[in-house]
Every structure is written in structure tokens, then in C-alpha cells.
Copies of this chain bind each other. A is one copy, B any other.
Amino acid sequence: MKVVIVGGVAGGASAAARIRRLDEKAEIVVFERTNYVSYANCGLPYYIGEVITDKEELTLQTPESFWMRFRIHIKVRHEVEKINVEKKTVTVKNLETGEQFEESYDKLILSPGAKAVMPKGAEGKERVFQLRTVEDTYRIYDFVKEKQPKNVVIVGGGFVGIELAENLHELGIQVTIAQRPDHLLSPIDYDMASFVHAKMRKKGIPVLLKKSVEEVRQSEDKVQIQFQDGVLETDMAIMAIGVTPDSTLAKEAGLALGQKGSILVNDRMETSEKDIYAVGDAIEVTHYITGKKAVISLAGPANKQGRIVADNVCGGDSRFKGSQGSFVIKIFDLTVAATGINETMAKQAEIDYDKVYLSPMSHAGYYPGGTVMTLKVLFEKNTYKLLGAQIVGNEGVDKRIDVLATAMHAGLTGLQLKDLDLAYAPPYSSAKDPVNMAGFMIENIATGKVKQYFWDDRKELEEKENAIFLDTRTYGEVKRGMAEGYRHIPVDELRDRIEELEKGKPVYVMCQSGLRSYIACRILQQYGYECYNFAGGYRLYSSVTAEKEAAVKAMPCGLEIEV
């Protein structure tokens, strides 16, 4: 059997190694367009920021090492230009020599990845960059060393944009992020992103939202980025708007395509054409939570697909169970992570959902070093099926998202989170872990012990004439800031002062995190009040509110802008 693989990173490289382990006699040829194979894709921004200092760390595997261990032929700087489906060959161009040749296959695996979306005028400019390959990385690294740019505009605030922002900021370059969406990191919701916006602002990185790039120009040693409402001028620009499946090859060969031009595959990674498989960022997958088709560019699923396709190419029957979009990202000292779907996606999928917010400590409060995280869990109304979770914090965020991802994968409901027997010691957790706490809260909703209201209900509620808005924090806390229109009674005084609250009016209660206001709600409810607990507390309220104000004021410091 002869297997040809197009693309030698992530899925392609995984597939090649696994095929050899399964079949010592297969002939395996990998064509990789760039000069590097199986490189540390997700490490590239950290090489630019000199967090990873050794070039070889990025490119640990070489064509030679693959040959030594696996007897796999890796041809770098070789671009597959055409699939000749009938003949079962590919037409390949050696990018070094320009030579063209045909290579036959019994099985063909496409792992071409995705390509960066480039706005008009962005291609081919000396001071305009993208970051997909090792070559892109060195180009940025060398430019920064040689030209010492004072400032950079990163267009796009997704994973790559944010990681580059951090790394370039740490090198002392003034960074600005500009993007079309109304919040950074689109896989999380606006409210959770407000913590990310705050971190950027604190680091002196302006975040310009709702800016869509119309054109990129370069004049001498400046780049001009033309937005719909003005121009930003900068020493260098990086295009990190997003990626699109690199499916030209598949399309021209007549393979069936899915959404966004992705390659259509079944759960065995088979394309519409016999003996042609595809994996990684170029394909369409089934979303594990919604069951709907999606394009998800992440390294974890790509590597799993590589292993699955190897099994199937070698006569096995492995199935990809779908992707639930789990991710984690470091943003300075913040960790942000999510799994499953967010509110936007739930609405698109027309799922009737509810949600809880909580602000637990990463570990026992009495043991030094703990930090507060904000955890948001989405679940389906009535069934309580877990739909998604988002966490912003520092320590222990990655742990809780993986626990929630596992619970979701296993089909647990939100109610079952309370029963999880998680490992506790003061340096690591609390006797009631944040994930258990989320379960307790969901159960309290399910059993009618508490009703909630949300930051984006505020406006609607303010119009209710009869409502009482009540803040139950301490005197010290409300002195430092309080939401507009709220009265103040500390929870510990509530029983004695309950007469101050007019009977018959609904009470909307808030505290710092939502715990004391929950206790207040329990008291009020039993005294006959209709009451609602503010989800996320003043902590979330002030972050979302402050962010709205700050976003309007944000200016790209040190850059010229005409509006």
C-alpha cells in the first residue's frame, strides 16, 4: 500500500506516524509546502516573544528524524498542485527547483490546513505580516529585531491575534488590536470578554472594536490601515482576522465541499471520493454539542483525526466523535478557557438555554496564592443538559474547563456536577470545588429555590415601576462602588430590616459574586417576597459596565487616526 499525505503538520504528521506503527510495509510519502514538518504550530507566537528561545524547540522533528524512526519520506518545499482522481496520482511541484512530477497513491490523505484571511492590499507588503508557518514566524521575528518597530496594529483579536499582542507587548512594542466584532475572542460571550478587555486596557493595549478593514497600504516605512471610519498608521501590521479552509486542491478535484469551503468528510474522515481522506483545519466536522456541522480550527481535534484516518487507511474502523471546541489561552496572567457552545451559538442553534455565573476561588481561601475566577455554565432548560462553559481567571481555569469538557462529553447534566468526587487539598481546590458549586446552583434553579436576572436584563427591569433593587454587600464594599438605583441592606441585617422593603414589590438582589444575594433571596422568598438573584454579582456587573464605557473612550495611543 502506498499512502500519500498532503501537509506534514498536526493531522498529517500524526497520520503518517500511526500508519507506520500499524503497517511496517506501507510506503508513506508526505508533501509539505513549507520547509518544516510537524512543527510546534501553537508555539509560534512564543518564539516571537522569546518565551521559546531555541529555534529547534519549534522544529523538533525533521524529514531525517521521520525517516530514521518511521521510514517515512517527507518532502518539504513540495506543493501538491492537483489531484488526478481517475489516475490516483497527484501532481507535485518542487518549490526549490520548479520541477513538476506525478506521484501515485493507493490512499490519499489531505491535511492542507487553513489559510489566513487577507484584506485588500495586505499581500506582499514588507511591513504586513500573517502568522501561520515557521517561515511567517521568522519573518516577524527578524523584522522586529532589524527594524525595531515602535508600534504594531494587530488586525483580529482571536487566538493568534491575542497571543501575538501579548508577546509583542512584552518585547516593548506598543500594540493596538483592531477588529470587526464587538468583543475579543469570539468563542466566549461579550460579558466574559469584558475581563479580557480590562486586562488589555490595563496593559496599555487599545482594543478598537467594530472596525472593519477596507484596505491596507504601505508608504515607505509606514503601514496605513483603512477602516470604514478612519485610518490607522503603524510601523507594522499583522493580519490575524481569521482563517479559511485551504480546500482549493479538493475543490478542483471535484470533492464535495461543506460550509465555508471546507472539505466534506464522514466520521471516518472519508471525502466524497474513494480512497481520499481529509483531516484538520480544512474539513467540516460535527459539533459534539449541537450535532450541527461546523468548521473548527484547533490542534487537538486535528491530531485525533490524524490517528483516526490512519486506522481507517490501514483497514480499521475508527470514528471521529465530533469536536466540542474546547480551548484555553494565556493572556498575560489571565487564563481564559471554554468548551461547548456560547450564548450566540445556542441562539443560532435555537436551543432554549439557561445559565449560571459564579466567582469561586481557585483553591481554599485560607491557603495563600488563590485567585478568583469567573465561571459561566450554559445548560438546556428542562433537560439541564450541559451545553457550554466559559472561564476567566488565573490558576486552575484550565482544570475546571477540562472537567466540564469531560462532563459534557459524557453527557452529564448540570445537576450531576454537584455529585462529582473531585480531588481536594487546600493548595489545589476547595472541599466544594467550583464545578460542584456550579452544580449546586443549577440544582437550586431546577428546584425553584432561586430565580435569576442578568446584566443584560437591566434596562428592561429599570422600566418596571414597582421593582426594588437591593444590594446586600457590606458597608465597605458599597462604598467602593454600587450599581445605579440600588438600595443597600447588608445580608446580615436583612432579617432585622425586612420591614423596609415594601411587600408586594419584586426584589432584585445583588451582592459581590451572587452568593450572599442568594442567601438574601432565600430569606426574602420565605418572607413572601418575589425575588431574583443577580447572576455574576457586582463583580460581573462592574466589569461589563466599565467595559462599555471604556470601549467608547479607547484610543490607539501613539498612533495617528483620522476619523
Contact = CB atoms under 8 A, between A and B. Distances in A.
Interface of A: 10, 21-25, 40, 42-43, 46, 51-52, 57-58, 60, 68-69, 71, 159, 288, 298-304, 307, 316, 321, 323-330, 335, 337-339, 364-368, 398-399, 401-403, 405-407, 409-412, 416, 418-429, 431-433, 436, 440, 447, 449, 491-492, 495, 518-519, 522-523, 526-527
B43 A421 contact: no
Contacts of A21: 449, 518-519, 522
A51 B419 CA distance: 31
Given A421-B325, A519-B69, A24 B411 contact: no
A440 to B, nearest CB: 7
B24 A523 contact: yes
Copies in the complex: 2
B419 A409 contact: yes
A148 to B, nearest CB: 25
B522 A303 contact: no
Contacts of A522: 21-22, 24
Among A10, A22, A24, A402, which residue has the most Cβ atoms of chain B within 10 A?
A402
A172 B304 CA distance: 49
Most buried by B among A22, A366, A416: A366
16 contacts: A24-B522, A52-B367, A60-B365, A69-B519, A159-B425, A299-B424, A300-B424, A304-B436, A328-B423, A339-B421, A398-B423, A406-B410, A406-B412, A406-B420, A407-B410, A409-B420
A51 B338 CA distance: 33
B288 A421 contact: yes
Given A52-B368, A339-B423, 19 more contacts: A21-B449, A25-B526, A40-B364, A42-B431, A60-B366, A159-B425, A300-B424, A301-B421, A302-B431, A304-B418, A326-B421, A328-B429, A337-B423, A398-B429, A402-B423, A405-B422, A406-B407, A407-B410, A410-B410
Contacts of A421: 288, 300-301, 323-326, 339, 405, 409
A330 B428 contact: yes
Contacts of A420: 405-406, 409
Top 7 closest A-B pairs, CB basis?
A410-B410, A328-B423, A24-B526, A399-B399, A57-B366, A299-B431, A326-B423
B52 A428 contact: no
**Most chain B CB neighbours (cut-off 10 Å) among A338, A367, A422:** A422
Contact of A327 (B10, B304, B402, B424): B424
